[in-house]
């Protein structure tokens, strides 16, 4: 079967790590008799340099016409250090989410036995931790209007807005994930303070009778932040609003020991996007030292989304073997480090 995959390398280390994931997908296609058609398109600072837009119309067209999007990273220091820049790379990410209708970010948080020693938490706390953070992507304070500043510049304001429809949509997805896992769902909010959180909690409570097989608990965001550190094995599936999810998923990612190992998916009403959770790491760009495993594992999530579950399992198995045999980049190497491209070649070879 032929699958169309849009490839958006983006900025910094994006092109290097995405190249390795494409290698792996090509190895999968060869072994399992699939055909993947890859179409590359610019996004982020690269796209601004080429077109003036961080998410050009042509890039969007390619994404809409594809079965999935493999995405690298966005961000460039020249924009970070220019407070007067009117167009920024990160605006491309927000535009992509909005135009593709990406309402849910899925972040698996999985510990790897060979990397437990790199976690900031004690082995007994983190060993065996395995949960999923589901973050709502299109509502909340990042998109609420009005926002701005007073005329004298002394005050600023942002508005958080959610509708019941938006909450139901993301929580439906969270129930589905919980159903396929251990049937436990934690809803994270701040219902003791925020009206939007009270709407979330009320809406979830209305949905519980139709999902009786799922054990649901509610947790204030400050408590959730503590318990991710104190007892990460407590969680199975966590669902929350945009800003809370942004913060908690980053916090959760650190406990595994390496940001370079965690994939993510953003799903919605059009084409889904698969990307590593780390940033563009411009300091490493072009040096062939960046860890490609999170991007390769994102490619495994992409395969699962296409119902290619055996193929996804083969990718994960090859990644596990690469770590067991020490074929890893300098961020996690205990002895001699492999380069970005060497890791990609090894995993593609293991699959073939």
Provide the annotated active-site residues: 142, 190, 222, 246, 250
- CA dist., res. 107 & res. 240, Å (int): 12
- CA dist., res. 278 & res. 200, Å (int): 29
- CA dist., res. 71 & res. 94, Å (int): 14
- CA dist., res. 63 & res. 40, Å (int): 10
Is the peptide bond preceding residue 146 cis, with omega within 30 degrees of 0? yes
3 state DSSP class of 44: coil
Those residues whose C-beta lies under 8 Å from the C-beta of residue 86, and which sit 6 or more positions away, are none
**What is the CB neighbour count within 10 angstroms for residue 73?**
29
- CA dist., res. 142 & res. 131, Å (int): 25
Sign of the alpha-carbon dihedral angle for 248, 269, 22, 348: positive
- Name the residue among 343, 325, 342 with its Cα closest to residue 334: 325
């Amino acid at each position: 079967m032929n699958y169309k995959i849009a490839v958006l390398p983006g900025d910094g280390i994006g092109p290097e790590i995405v190249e390795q994931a494409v290698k792996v997908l090509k190895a999968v296609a060869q072994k399992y008799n699939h055909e993947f058609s890859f179409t590359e398109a610019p996004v982020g600072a690269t796209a601004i340099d080429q077109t003036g837009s961080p998410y050009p119309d042509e890039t969007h067209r390619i994404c809409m016409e594809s079965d999935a999007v493999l995405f690298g990273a966005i961000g460039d220091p020249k924009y970070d250090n220019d407070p007067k820049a009117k167009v920024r790379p990160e605006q491309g990410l927000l535009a992509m989410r909005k135009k593709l209708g990406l309402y849910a970010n899925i972040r698996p948080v999985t510990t790897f036995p060979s990397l437990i020693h790199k976690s900031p938490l004690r082995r007994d706390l983190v060993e065996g931790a395995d949960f999923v953070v589901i973050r709502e992507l299109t509502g909340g304070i990042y998109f609420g209007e009005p926002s701005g500043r007073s005329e004298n510049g002394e005050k600023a304001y942002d508005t958080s807005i959610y509708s019941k429809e938006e909450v139901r949509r993301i929580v439906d997805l969270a129930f589905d994930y919980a159903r396929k896992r251990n049937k436990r769902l934690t809803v994270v909010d701040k219902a003791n303070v925020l009206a939007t959180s009270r709407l979330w909690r009320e809406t979830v409570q209305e949905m519980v009778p139709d999902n009786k097989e799922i054990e649901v608990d509610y947790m204030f965001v400050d408590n959730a932040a503590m318990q991710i550190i104190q007892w990460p094995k407590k969680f199975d599936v966590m669902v929350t609003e945009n800003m809370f999810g942004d913060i908690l998923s980053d916090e959760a990612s650190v406990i595994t020991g390496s940001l370079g190992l965690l994939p993510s998916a953003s799903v919605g009403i059009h084409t889904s996007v698969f990307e590593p959770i780390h940033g563009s790491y411009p300091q490493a760009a072009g040096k062939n030292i960046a860890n490609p495993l999170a991007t390769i594992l994102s490619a495994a999530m992409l395969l699962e989304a296409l119902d290619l579950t055996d193929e996804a399992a083969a990718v994960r198995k090859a990644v596990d073997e690469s770590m067991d045999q020490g074929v890893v980049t300098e961020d996690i190497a205990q002895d001699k480090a492999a380069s970005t491209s060497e890791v990609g070649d090894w995993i593609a070879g293991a699959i073939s």
